[in-house]
Structure 1
Amino acid sequence: MAAEILRTKWMAMTASIWIQCTLGGSYTFGIYSAILKSSQSYDQSTLDTVSVFKDIGGNVGVLSGLVYTAATFNRRRPDGRGGRGGPWVVILIGAVLSFTGYFLIWASVTGLIRKPPVPVMCLFMFIAAQSLTFLNTANVVSSLENFADYGGTAVGIMKGFVGLSGAMLIQLYETICPGDPESFVLLLAIVPSLLSVLVMPLVRIYETSTVDEKKHLDGLSTLSIIIAAYLMVIIIVKGILGLPSWANTVTLVVLLILLASPLLIAIRARRDNIEKPCYSPLVDNLEATTSGESLVVVEDKSLNLVQAMRNLDFWLLFLVMVCGMGSGISTINNIRQIGESLRYSNVEINALLSLWNIWNFIGRFGAGYVSDALLHKKGWPRPLLMATTLGAMTIGHLIIASGFEGNLYPGSIMVGICYGSQWSLMPTITSELFGVKHMGTIYNTISIASPMGSYIFSVRLIGYIYDKTIIGEGNTCYGPHCFRLSFVIIAWLSSGFLSRVCWCSGQISFINRSSRRGCIVDKRLMTCELFRYIMLYSAICVCIYILLFKFVINC
């Protein structure tokens, strides 16, 4: 019985969740950055350079996608037994990279090895961060394949736990080695790598579907919400009252118990599925259609990276991610400077930074879950929800630009939730547009949009305008004018959601017309339809740009 439970997609999901909970090393850079700076005699510019390689390593995952495709090629079986290949190969590489990178950083900080040159330290940081792409790719893509009918929910759960992982690792740090960032780096080297190696045999690809998938996925979703709420309460209580060491230990034990709970769901799912027939709601719903209308036939073909890059949809999705992810990460990277310019206290700023993980989780999990619900119940495509979140993100940026009292609270909540939603919607949309076979490679290539957008918005826009603003004011700027222009421009760029609304509306209306005529959907015709809406969007953007330019001049 135990062996049968271990060979289920639910146990694979549980193992992936556990791995995802340890991937927040990059999010905790602030804990050990000070000791890294002092031990290596870095100035702030050098430390920022090392941090850039952390961001590059954590976002450029094309190699991990290629490895995943090679490792899982022709290895998908109904019982999950994938021969010599499988997701475990990618997880093993990620575990080795994680241990190597963080261990070498720890050895450098503690003096175990000679002080490395800056380029070598950048390499250490890149290796450590690159492990995230391997582990994340294996978990996200395998979960999407295992739960194809509810891919949005599965990806949302995976991405949601990554969003919470930073807060979990901070809880581990404050319990095991509080005030000792050197030991925390060693912890980052050991815990993710060891856990990944222990559970990697459980992460497999299963091509079976049961009627109870939705019920048990809802159970995992509820559990993830409980964990997020628990972490939020801990963060708030610590910020207001503080916690003694024994209380930190108790909260960590409770957290570990909550993280063990997916085992119960896996056991229950196995028990419920023993006598259940295989079932796919999307396919069964199509077979049950008796309205007399012809169904839309969509060719099931997976594109490789080169073929996808020749597709207009790839570059549209990439552009959306530059705006959505780039503007979101630029906001959190500058939230401290924005708060200081608006005279927020350190306590308020730290609370905003800590709670960002929670808003990020809500976006990652919520967008995946809601997109599945809209798809199955209303037939609405996921890009429609992506358009909505980009529209809400635009409002969030404008709230930050407004500078009214307390604006960072609603602004950071809206931007954080909408930013997180991009991370769960993008992989699922990628699989639906280009297929699952090469999804890991394509998804990680599109993810490059995040650091690219961060550079454009943070360095070339926010940093440039801020430096121009402080001329004659010293090294620090105070007042809402310091970041107003930057976020008005970011809001305008993020308002590309209008094109996505047009895109979705065009797809829905075209598919409905085709289904009524009994036509087969031709992607070339859909692309032509899309070009018409892009032309409309371009005209709208010109009008918006003129209005915003006049507004900025008047300010």
Structure 2
Amino acid sequence: MSLVRNFDTNTKDDRKFLNAFSAVSLIIAAYLTIIIILENINSLPSLARIVTFTVLLLLFALPLGIAVRAHREDSDRYAQTLLEERGSKPNPVIYSEICKAEDSIDYHELPSEEGQAKAASADERLSDEANMNLLQALCSVNFWLLFIAMFCGLGSGLAMINNISQIGESLDYTAAERNSLVSLFSIWNFLGRFGAGFVSDIFLHRGGCARPLFVAITLAIMSVGHIVVAAGFSKNLYLGSVLVGVAYGSQWSLMPTITSEIFGVGHVGTIFNTIAIASPVGSYTFSVRIIGFIYDKVGSGEDNTCFGSRCFMLSFMIMASVAFFGVFVALLLFFRTRRFYKAVVFRRLRHF
């Protein structure tokens, strides 16, 4: 923490650098996916491993290059400002870039004093309408609807993460395939976290669509993923891990944002972490009380091992049913907050 410093900024160039970071993340995810799949198809020779590892290191170094470039541009802009203050002739290249940036800025007429007072009053009203503390949130129906939805989604998703290697072993996957599944699941998890926020933002800003609807969609996808795992057909875990991984990551992206929008940002950290308890509680319930219990019942031998789809079929059908129940809970939250999103959240977004 001692190495972190805050810098105030009012430039529009930050967005392009943030987009560059996002693009690099997606490139690394795609590259790792390709390498993992190639490793499963045919083991790579030593030279190919060295080359792929070198390329991966270069990709990991790209964010540092983006940060250096951002710092250099910020320094050039600061130097240009000093030159203008001293009356010196500016660098023509830098001056041209600054002029282009200024031309791209839209200037609007400032509102009157009465208009500013109304805007400030509206800001205060919007802040008061959705700024609950933990106790107030616990007494609301929306809190428990979101908690139950996360219990159904995050709990069952984490239960699959905890048992994916053992599931693969029971279905006769090789050790390399099981390791690959764990790695691929992390990538699908990342894509879900990255994409859900982006997609839900588009629908929220353009159509005023309440974000809980996307929780219902991800729970429906997760339910299908659990059914695929329960089916036990050849290579089913690859498809099942994609569906469950993307849905699981999406819910971790949507839940904190929905928490801040419904309950306000004043106590968002406390409320968010309280709702996040649904993840370990759900994981314990599904992993120990359902998956572990059923596995012990159908297992055989001294070490109580189990092979075949029967080991986890019933467990994942139960989790699919729970996730499907979560769809209705999330839809109820969506209908309960739809008017609130239009009256408060969407109006706040348009105002700012």
TM-score, length basis structure 2:
0.74
Q: Deviation at 1:486?
A: 0.5
Q: Residues of 1 paired with 2:208 and 2:12: CA distance?
A: 20
RMSD: 3.1
Q: Residues of 2 paired with 1:305 and 1:278: CA distance?
A: 41
Query: Would you say 1:372 and 2:176 are equivalent positions?
Result: no
1:191 corresponding residue in structure 2: none
1:313 corresponding residue in structure 2: 142
Q: Residues of 2 paired with 1:337 and 1:476: CA distance?
A: 10
* Correspondent of 2:242 among 408, 413, 438: 413
Alpha-carbon displacement from aligned partner over 1:350-380 (angstroms, at most 9, x marks no partner)? 2111111111111110101111111112211
Alpha-carbon displacement from aligned partner over 1:488-510 (angstroms, at most 9, x marks no partner)? 110111111123224324543x4
Task: Give the direction of change, closer, same or farther, for the CA distance of 1:479–1:328 in structure 2 (3 Å limit).
Answer: same
Q: Deviation at 1:238?
A: 5.0
Task: Give the direction of change, closer, same or farther, for the CA distance of 1:325–1:355 in structure 2 (3 Å limit).
Answer: same
Task: Give the direction of change, closer, same or farther, for the CA distance of 1:452–1:431 in structure 2 (3 Å limit).
Answer: same
Q: Residues of 2 paired with 1:265 and 1:422: CA distance?
A: 34
Q: Deviation at 1:390?
A: 0.5
Q: Residues of 1 paired with 2:10 and 2:138: CA distance?
A: 32
Q: Deviation at 1:483?
A: 0.7
> Highest CA radius of gyration, 1 or 2?
2
1:221 corresponding residue in structure 2: 22
| Equivalent residue runs for 1:436-451 within 5 Å | 436-451=265-280
2:333 corresponding residue in structure 1: 503
Query: Would you say 1:353 and 2:182 are equivalent positions?
Result: yes
Alpha-carbon displacement from aligned partner over 1:136-192 (angstroms, at most 9, x marks no partner)? xxxxxxxxxxxxxxxxxxxxxxxxxxxxxxxxxxxxxxxxxxxxxxxxxxxxxxxxx
1:45 corresponding residue in structure 2: none
Task: Give the direction of change, closer, same or farther, for the CA distance of 1:268–1:462 in structure 2 (3 Å limit).
Answer: farther
Alpha-carbon displacement from aligned partner over 1:458-480 (angstroms, at most 9, x marks no partner)? 00110001101115796211111
Structure 2, unpaired ranges of 5+: 78-96, 108-114, 116-124, 345-352
Query: Would you say 1:235 and 2:22 are equivalent positions?
Result: no
1:429 corresponding residue in structure 2: 258
Q: Residues of 1 paired with 2:307 and 2:198: CA distance?
A: 41
Task: Give the direction of change, closer, same or farther, for the CA distance of 1:336–1:242 in structure 2 (3 Å limit).
Answer: farther
Query: Which amino acid is 2:63 matched to?
Result: L
Q: Residues of 1 paired with 2:11 and 2:28: CA distance?
A: 27
Q: Residues of 1 paired with 2:10 and 2:207: CA distance?
A: 22
Q: Which is further off, 255-264 or 346-355?
A: 255-264
1:392 corresponding residue in structure 2: 221
Q: Deviation at 1:325?
A: 1.0
Query: Which amino acid is 1:348 matched to?
Result: E
TM-score, length basis structure 1:
0.49
1:251 corresponding residue in structure 2: 55
1:51 corresponding residue in structure 2: none
Q: Deviation at 1:304?
A: 2.0
Q: Which is further off, 485-494 or 469-478?
A: 469-478
Q: Deviation at 1:485?
A: 0.7
Q: Residues of 1 paired with 2:285 and 2:70: CA distance?
A: 44
1:323 corresponding residue in structure 2: 152
| Equivalent residue runs for 1:158-173 within 5 Å | none
Is 2:298–2:306's contact at 8 Å kept on the other side of the alignment?
A: yes
Is 2:17–2:66's contact at 8 Å kept on the other side of the alignment?
A: no
Task: Give the direction of change, closer, same or farther, for the CA distance of 1:217–1:278 in structure 2 (3 Å limit).
Answer: farther
Task: Give the direction of change, closer, same or farther, for the CA distance of 1:226–1:264 in structure 2 (3 Å limit).
Answer: farther
Is 1:338–1:483's contact at 8 Å kept on the other side of the alignment?
A: yes
1:332 corresponding residue in structure 2: 161
Is 1:399–1:411's contact at 8 Å kept on the other side of the alignment?
A: yes
Q: Residues of 2 paired with 1:366 and 1:265: CA distance?
A: 26
- Partner SS for 2:234: coil
* Correspondent of 2:293 among 464, 468, 472: 464
Structure 1, unpaired ranges of 5+: 1-91, 93-196, 280-286, 288-296, 522-555
Q: Which is further off, 214-223 or 495-504?
A: 214-223
Q: Number of residue pairs matched?
A: 299
| Equivalent residue runs for 1:460-539 within 5 Å | 460-471=289-300, 475-495=304-324, 496-508=326-338, 510=339
2:5 corresponding residue in structure 1: 201
Is 2:24–2:59's contact at 8 Å kept on the other side of the alignment?
A: no
Q: Deviation at 1:213?
A: 6.8
Is 1:232–1:358's contact at 8 Å kept on the other side of the alignment?
A: yes
Q: Deviation at 1:511?
A: 6.0
Task: Give the direction of change, closer, same or farther, for the CA distance of 1:312–1:401 in structure 2 (3 Å limit).
Answer: same
Q: Residues of 2 paired with 1:455 and 1:418: CA distance?
A: 19
Query: Would you say 1:260 and 2:61 are equivalent positions?
Result: no
- What percentage of residue pairs aligned between the two structures are identical? 49
